């Protein structure tokens, strides 16, 4: 119902607000990134609940990852993940060559120092989604040249 551009602008404001609200903390950057990540986590959990209401459970971890790379990514970022790699030992790397939150910012290295704060919420979103699909993990993102971005998922076995 809501046009996708509304989320884009809301996300911008969210990042800006969280940064301003953390200004009194010792480590502004890390605190605000952590806050954004945990907000994304809660949203990711709720989102996946509604999304996969009718779907059957996935047969294994890899199947879950494929769902994330295809249907989930498509629904949120309007395209699929370009490349999925794994070491078959609990580490997955998702590569998106034109990550939606970066395509309007830069075509290379300009504004690189600001990229992490726009990747915090997406990392949390991914971690939250996986968590509700039964996969506990840590998600980090890495950018070497925009708009390409790599999300690294490290499965936490309890």
Partner 1 sequence: MTIYNFYIFDRNGVCLYYVEWNRRKQSGMSSEEEFKLMYGMIFSIKSFVNRISPTDVKEGFMTYKTSKYRLHFFETLSGLKFIMNTDLNVGNIRDILQQIYSTIYVEYVIKNPIIELDKPITSELFKTKLDDYMKGLPFFPAKVS
Partner 2 sequence: MSRQAARGTDIRKVNGELFTLTYGALVSQLMKDYENDEEVNKQLEKMGYNIGVRLIEDFLARANIGRCNDFRETADIISKVAFKMYLGITPVISNWSPSGDEFSLLIENNPLIDFVELPDGHNALNYSNLLTGVLKGALEMVQMDVDVRFVQDQLKGDNLTELRLKFVKRLEDAIPAGED
Given the rule CB under 8 A, which residues bind partner 1?
5, 8, 12, 15-16, 104-108, 110-111, 114, 118
Residue 14 C-beta: closest distance to partner 1, Å? 10
Residues 58-77 that bind partner 2 (CB under 8 A): 71, 74-76
Tell me the C-alpha distance between 88 and 155, whole Å. 11
Q: How far is the CB of 110 from partner 1 (least distance, A)?
A: 5
Which residues fall within 8 angstroms of residue 80, CB to CB, at 6 or more apart? 69, 70, 73, 74
Q: Which long-range contacts (CB under 8 A, 24 or more apart) does 84-91 make?
A: 86/62, 90/154, 90/155, 90/157, 91/152, 91/153, 91/154, 91/155
- Could you tell me the smallest distance in angstroms from the CB atom of residue 144 to partner 2? 27
Q: Of residues 23, 26, 53, 88, which one binds partner 2 by CB under 8 A?
A: 53
Candidate list 28, 31, 51, 148; residue touching partner 2; CB under 8 A: 51
3-state secondary structure of 28: helix
Binding footprint of partner 2, residue count (CB under 8 A): 32
Among partner 2, partner 1, none, partner that 62 touches (CB below 5 to 8 angstroms by kind):
none
Per CB under 8 A, the segment of 25-33, 50-58, 91-99, 143-151 that binds partner 2 is: 50-58
For residue 138, give every residue at least 6 positions away whose Cβ sits within 8 Å of its Cβ, in sequence order, or none: 127, 153, 154, 156
d(CA 128, CA 97): 22
Q: Which does 114 bind (CB under 5 to 8 A by kind): partner 1, partner 2, none?
A: partner 1
Which of partner 2, partner 1, none does residue 108 bind (CB under 5 to 8 Å by kind)?
partner 1
């Amino acid at each position: 119902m809501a046009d996708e551009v509304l989320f884009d602008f809301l996300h911008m404001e969210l990042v800006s607000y969280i940064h301003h609200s953390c200004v009194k903390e010792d480590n502004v950057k890390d605190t605000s990134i952590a806050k954004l990540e945990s907000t994304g986590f809660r949203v990711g959990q709720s989102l996946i609940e509604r999304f996969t209401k009718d779907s059957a459970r996935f047969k294994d971890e890899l199947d879950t990852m494929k769902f994330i790379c295809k249907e989930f990514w498509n629904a949120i970022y309007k395209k699929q993940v370009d490349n999925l790699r794994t070491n078959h030992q609990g580490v997955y790397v998702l590569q998106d060559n034109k990550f939606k939150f970066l395509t309007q910012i830069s075509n290379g290295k300009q504004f690189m120092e600001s990229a992490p704060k726009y990747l915090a919420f997406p990392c949390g979103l991914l971690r939250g989604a996986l968590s509700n699909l039964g996969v506990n993990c840590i998600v980090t993102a890495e950018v070497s040249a925009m708009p390409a971005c790599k999300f690294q998922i490290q499965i936490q076995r309890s």
